[in-house]
Amino acid sequence: MSKPRPGDKQQPPREDGGPRGEELPAFCPPPASPLQALSMSELQQITDDISRLTIVHEIVLDSDFKLQAASFSPKSLENRVKETLHKAFWDSLEEQLSASPPDYTRAIQLLQEIKEGLLSLLLPRHHQLQSQIEEALDMELIRQEAEHGALDIRGLTTYVLGMMARLCAPIRDKEVQGLQSLTDPAQLLREIFRVLGLMKTDMLNFTVQSIRAHLQDHTIQYERKKFQELLDKLPNSLDHTREWLRKAAAEVSASSPQPPPHPAGGGTSPAADSSGTTVPSLTSVLNRGYMNLLCWQPGQKEYPETLFMDQARLQEVQVQVNQLTIIAAVLLVTSGMCGSTLFGSPGFVAKLKRVTKVLLEGLSSTRYEAALEDISDQVLQEVSRALAQLGYPAFTTDKCASLKGQIKSIAETGNAVRQVIGESLSLRLTQP
């Protein structure tokens, strides 16, 4: 029976030889103070801390999170430099191994890195495998053999391929097997180095999956601690977050009804301060703040610093909410023009939803006007087809123009139908 290996999800690699769900508490930063000059080492430390915090955050929230090998655009300067340097190295290796007598300088460097790569794939308990690799790839012995012209490159690569076959994830089995057919030593070393890099990435991703449950249990404490450490170093780093919350609190206070007068001796209501002014709850302020993010216009204001790591996710939600609002508005306008009889016909509403959603897919809010032009045409076609099937008279020219005009006007920011739906959605989402 085969043993689990590092490519299998939530299984250990094969070998031979506080609960999540609670919300992050409100965080009160210290008063803003002049930012002191930071040294390069301090800036680098802050960058590293943010990078680690971001990776942990992604691992916890994204169940499909995987590390990927760095890649550059084929036409980029970075890619051209990388390809030039790699070609120069591998060409030099081939020349050295083809010389008479062979020069093993670069080959020994590669064998050293291959040995380190194999060792990095082992778990702490793999003492026997570690000893085997250390003995088979004894770099001091390899250097002595190279000096006396007795280095057996083929024998060493055969051992390496066997060890790779034992340690690789199932997804790499065919690639490792394919290396056994290579006879040119330079090409073989190059391919071993490439596949070994993929195996190391597999092991990293296996490790990520293994520790994900542990991170989920401790991410709240970890993120709170790291945010506090970063705030201690950069006291002014949450200015945009403060402004975002102040705006939300002001909006909630303005929309909340004033508390009724208290009877004599009745005490003070918990919903008001000593002056009788309504004090918004933390939940209502956060709900309003997040709803404001769903209407965020890029370039107008800076995004709250505490939400940078989730900005892409929130913007995706924003797109979905906008699309949902447009679809609901199109259905409401069409229903008002067509009546309940037509809307009650089987599959009619579902077809309108599908048509509208397809035409909105992948579009930003700035392109809704053009999309609604096409949507109005498609809706009118579906309405005309349904009327004919049910035996109702077709719309007059004026009624067709009115339906198309009302649908196209949904793209306007101040459109009444769109505002009513948006307010209804906002009310539902902001309820504590």
Q: Which of 26-30, 222-226, 271-275, 392-396 bottoms out in mean pLDDT, i.e. has the lowest?
A: 26-30
pLDDT surpasses 50 at 11? no
> What is the reported pLDDT for 432?
54
At 111, which amino acid appears?
L
Indicate whether 23 pLDDT > 60.
no
Q: What is residue 22's predicted lDDT score, i.e. its pLDDT?
A: 37
- Residue 362 has which token pair? 């992948």
Of residues 61 and 275, more confidence is placed in 61
Q: What value does the mean pLDDT take over residues 123-138? A: 92
Percent residues over pLDDT 70 in the chain: 83
Q: Which of 123-137, 373-387, 415-429 has the lowest mean pLDDT?
A: 415-429
Confidence of residue 10 (pLDDT cuts 50, 70, 90): very low
Mean pLDDT of the 180-202 span:
91
Phi, psi of 271 (to 5 degrees): -90, 5
Q: For the chain, first and last CA: distance in Å? A: 54
Q: Cα–Cα distance between 344 and 335 in angstroms, integer?
A: 10
CB half-sphere exposure, 322, CA atoms < 13 A: 26
Q: Among the residues of 99-238, which ranges form H helices?
A: 105-120, 127-136, 139-147, 153-167, 173-179, 185-233
Tokens of 84: 């030039």
Structure tokens at 190: 């190059």
Distances in whole angstroms, Cα of residue 246 to Cα of each of 50, 251, 312, 429? 25, 9, 23, 20
Amino acid at 125: R
Judged by average pLDDT, the poorest of 38-42, 176-180, 187-191 is 38-42
Q: How confident is the model at residue 205 (pLDDT cuts 50, 70, 90)?
A: confident
Provide mean pLDDT across the span 256-275: 52
Specify the DSSP class assigned to residue 296: -
As a whole number of angstroms, the distance between CA 307 and CA 241 comes to 8
Lowest mean pLDDT among 192-201, 246-255, 331-340, 419-428: 419-428
User: pLDDT-derived band of residue 267, with 50, 70 and 90 as boundaries?
Assistant: very low
Mean pLDDT confidence for 333-358: 86
Average pLDDT score over residue span 331-336? 89
Q: What is the pLDDT of residue 214?
A: 85
140 pLDDT above the threshold of 60: yes
Report percent pLDDT > 90 for the chain: 20
